[in-house]
Amino acid sequence: MTTSTTPTSPLVLGAMMFGTTVDEVSAFALLDRFVERGGVWIDTADCYSFWASADGQGGDSERVLGRWLAARPDLRERVKIATKLGAEPLWAGSWPDRRTGLSARAVRDAFAGSLDRLGLESVDLLWLHQEDRRTPIEETVDALAELTGAGLAHRVGASNHPAWRVERARAHARSIGSVPLDALQLNATYLRVRPGTRPPGVEHRFGVLSDEQRDYADEHGLEIWAYTPLLSGAYDNPAKQIPEAYDHVGNIRRLEVLDDVAGELGATRGQTVLAWHVARGVRPMLGGSRLDQLDTAMDAVLLPLTAEQVHRLDAAV
């Protein structure tokens, strides 16, 4: 396990498939290795993973994490748990048309369920999983204020929300003296999507990190967490194609520069993408299912990119 000389890792371990396609034994091994190598943040959601579960509902991932935490009580002070709410189907097969959403009642009920499955008295970060236009954002923030005020959630963040709704939420939180949203979780990788498209797995209109969201986060000091940074392995696995949403002329040059920098580092494309995220102040998230994938990623976030390499990667068009 972690020692005083083990550096804290900026990598986030995504527990999305724990309890479904990743069995409990494998999940425990990944979690143990993550902590051993200095990992801190573990991310899940109340809806994970309803599409792969036996009953069409989420909760398996949180239950596995709860059992892991119960089996290793000494680790609770060394890890931070983040979970999300708002995207759980109301019943099997009802997503995306019928999901719990972000009404005050839905937030309270969903969060109580998450705490029960996790076996925790509080979480370190609670995410709004995706925006809910049916509910005024002020109502959602009022519900979050109850949770943060009671010490049940230490921080709150927004995943798959446009910048303007995040700003409205933060303004309302300030007006009532509560904890404002201080983190964004969005899809982000090195390649850029073709305008008017979304990559596979991004169901949300504002799910891909935009220049405006990045600028807003930088200006106001919000953390950015990047999901699917490795294109599900397509950067390095010849058996996987880079998704069509990234098929455009600008990315040809970006891949050339990515290969150049990876060669200089003696790293893979995927490792270089993770290092690039960290160099730009972004927390990359890994949803791997094998120990070798985890080790490769944890090695990657320690790679020392130079300012010149970061500039070359950023400037490639």
Distance CA 198, CA 193 (A): 7
pLDDT tens per residue across span 62-85: 999 999 999 999 999 999 999 999
Within a domain: 223? yes
Residue 203 has pLDDT above 50, yes or no: yes
Number of residues assigned to the chain: 317
pLDDT tens per residue across span 9-50: 999 999 999 999 999 999 999 999 999 999 999 999 999 999
pLDDT score at 288: 84
Among the listed residues 168, 155, 172, 163, the one whose alpha carbon sits nearest the alpha carbon of residue 218: 163
Q: What is the CA radius of gyration of the chain?
A: 19
Within a domain: 3? no
Q: Which residues contact 281 (CB under 8 A, 6 or more apart)?
A: 224
Among the listed residues 160, 242, 158, the one whose alpha carbon sits nearest the alpha carbon of residue 199: 242
Within a domain: 317? no
**Per-residue DSSP letters for 29-66?**
HHHHHHHHTT--EEE--TTTTGGGSSSS---HHHHHHH
Q: How confident is the model at residue 166 (pLDDT cuts 50, 70, 90)?
A: very high
Distance CA 100, CA 91 (A): 9
User: In which residue are the tokens 């005083």 written?
Assistant: 4
Mean pLDDT of the chain: 96
Segment 76-103 shows an average pLDDT of 96
Residue 230 has pLDDT above 60, yes or no: yes
Residue 5 has pLDDT above 80, yes or no: no
Q: Find the domain containing 65 and state its range.
A: 12-245+269-305
pLDDT tens per residue across span 178-201: 999 999 999 999 999 999 999 998
CA 145, distance to chain mean position in Å, is 22
Segment 232-240 shows an average pLDDT of 95
Within a domain: 253? no
Q: Does the reported pTM lie above 0.85?
A: yes
Distance CA 288, CA 233 (A): 9
Segment 226-230 shows an average pLDDT of 98
Residue 4 has pLDDT above 70, yes or no: no
Residue 123 phi/psi, 5° resolution? Answer: -120, 160
Within a domain: 44? yes
pLDDT score at 42: 98
Collapsing DSSP states into helix, strand and coil, what is residue 191?
Answer: coil
Within a domain: 16? yes
> What crossing angle do the helices spanning 24-36 and 60-71 adopt, rounded to 10°?
60
Which residue type sits at 307? A
- 59-63 long-range CB contacts below 8 Å, 24 or more apart? 59/113, 59/117, 60/18, 60/19, 60/20, 61/15, 61/16, 61/17, 61/18, 61/19, 61/20, 62/114, 62/117, 62/118, 63/19, 63/117
Q: How confident is the model at residue 6 (pLDDT cuts 50, 70, 90)?
A: confident
Q: Give, rounded to a whole angstrom, the gap between the first and last alpha carbons of the chain.
A: 43
Which residue type sits at 317? V
Within a domain: 141? yes
Within a domain: 286? yes
Residue 2 has pLDDT above 80, yes or no: no
Segment 237-259 shows an average pLDDT of 96
84 contacts 44 by C-beta, under 8 angstroms = yes
Number of domains in the chain: 1
pLDDT tens per residue across span 110-146: 999 999 999 999 999 999 999 999 999 999 999 999 9
CATH of the domain at 193: 3.20.20.100
pLDDT score at 237: 95
